[in-house]
Amino acid sequence: MSKSDIEFDRQHIWHPYTSMLNPLPAYKVESAKDCTLTLDTGHQVIDGMSSWWAVIHGYRNPRLDAVAHSQIDKMSHVMFGGITHQPAIDLARRLIEMTPEPLQRVFIADSGSVSVEVAIKMALQYWLAQERPEKHRLLTIKGGYHGDTFKAMSVCDPVNGMHHLFNKAINSQLFADAPSLTPDEDWAETAGDELRHWFERHHGELAAIILEPIVQGAGGMRFYHPEYLKLIRQLCDDFDVLLIADEIATGFGRTGKLFACEHAGITPDILCVGKALTGGYMTLAAALTTKKVAETIGHGPGGGALMHGPTFMGNPLACAVAAESLAIIAEGKWQQQVAEIEAQLKQELLPLAKYSAVKDARVFGAIGVLEMHHPIDVAVAQKRFIELGVWIRPFGRLLYIMPPYVISTNELNRLTVAMKDYAETQSSIKRFNNQRSKETSRLNSS
């Protein structure tokens, strides 16, 4: 990238969660193949992020490339109002086949955030159709993240999330404490007492509870006990509240199950999927719901229509690639791939908890996390990772990887070695600072 290009990017292009006054460095990618990104300098880095958890089959996957080329020769887009097409039919059929039997109705959306908006609209219209407008609020758990659009922001963590600046502009929702027990801990019946309290006290106004099942992603990379999810499903049934499962990050095998809800053996009333849906090729998501929810809405006001219709809904190009991505998943190779990734992450990451700069090391499925004691300087860390030949994008105090399923043992090792390098370096800095502080205190006291 020429100096003028770098300067243009810096001055004019707004990157995610970045200030235009002092933006983080942006590295130019020229090409990508399998698990490797090639920068404009010719330097190659192993992608530990799956391009924000989406590129599960690797870059330039031959099957997905072929489908994309074939579809674009037919039509790249056509409106979905009053028109349908084979890619959308194929995609919906595959989604219905691989999700639990009650989920029979599919709304194809533009992105994960939009699918959350659609799911919330479904829940609200469901109760309006039953002439129960008082059931209009949402319950969620702290520490969650559901997207950047306004209704999605309203159910993200209101204090430690990324959207606290907008708290006065978004609807006030209800937030229960985040589950405290991890999947590795023993379940205690008292752990669900607070959740029961929320349902007992607020069920009359609750349209739905929305949460990320088992794994809270961008809100903190936390893993919680499946029994919480079982309890929530039961509470929803007992108190007449819908359950929305946001599986945008966890769906399609990331946690070791096809969907994270399977760890608890439950089915939501509405399921949101996205990210890996197209294998990371382009933006696409979906909200699936039951026949009961769909038909109840159908008998409601507004002619029974679900009041949402994006311009690029059901985009044929995206649907064709997504259908092929799901065909790859249906072959089942991901199960062994994710199991092997999890085993290697546990062997190579969990021991890093011994370093003084590391607060916690945790692994779940193809997710590896180092939680540091202090916030990470992203620019400094990113520069070091590039030098080590890896692409890892930390946030807050979290250094984590969610690699493509097709990653090799050696490639994954290079990622974990880079994380170890960071943990060692930060621990050395911490020891040095502690020693200097002690010496300064000794000199001041003498």
Q: Which residues are annotated as a binding site?
A: 52, 112-113, 145, 246, 275, 309-311, 393
Beta bridge partners of 245: 211, 271
Q: Which residues are annotated binding-site positions for substrate? A: 52, 145, 275, 309, 393
Q: Which helix (H) or strand (E) holds 242?
A: strand 242-246
Q: What whole-number distance in Å separates Cα of residue 126 and Cα of residue 130?
A: 7
Active-site residue identified among 59, 126, 145, 224: 145
Direct distance between the N- and C-terminal alpha carbons of the chain, in angstroms, rounded to an integer: 56
Q: Are 272 and 115 in contact (CB under 8 A)?
A: yes
Spot the catalytic one: 275, 355, 400, 405. Answer: 275
Judged by DSSP in three states, 278 sits in: helix
Residues comprising the binding site for pyridoxal 5'-phosphate?
A: 112-113, 246, 310-311
CA distance 241 to 384: 48
Rounded distance, CA 119 to CA 210, Å? 9
Nearest to 180 by CA among 140, 133, 227, 145: 227
Report how far residue 102's alpha carbon sits from residue 291's, in angstroms, rounded to the nearest whole number. 7
Place of tokens 């319950």: 139
Active site residue 228: no
**Cβ neighbours, 10 Å, residue 216:** 24
Q: Cα dist. 274→150, 252, 305, 360 in Å?
A: 18, 9, 23, 29
Which residues neighbour 359 within 8 Å (Cβ) at sequence distance 6 or greater? Answer: 371, 372, 373, 397
Catalytic residue among 47, 110, 246, 269: 246
Neighbours of 291 (CB within 10 A): 11
Burial of 11: CB neighbours in 10 Å, binned 0-12, 13-18, 19+: exposed
Q: What share of the chain is helix, strand, coil (3-state, %, to 5)?
A: 45, 15, 40
Tell me if residue 17 is catalytic: yes
Tokens of 115: 């699918």
Alpha-carbon dihedral sign for residues 14, 21, 371, 266: negative
Q: Quick check: is 346 catalytic?
A: no
- Catalytic residue of the set 5, 17, 291, 383: 17
Annotated catalytic residues are 17, 145, 246, 275
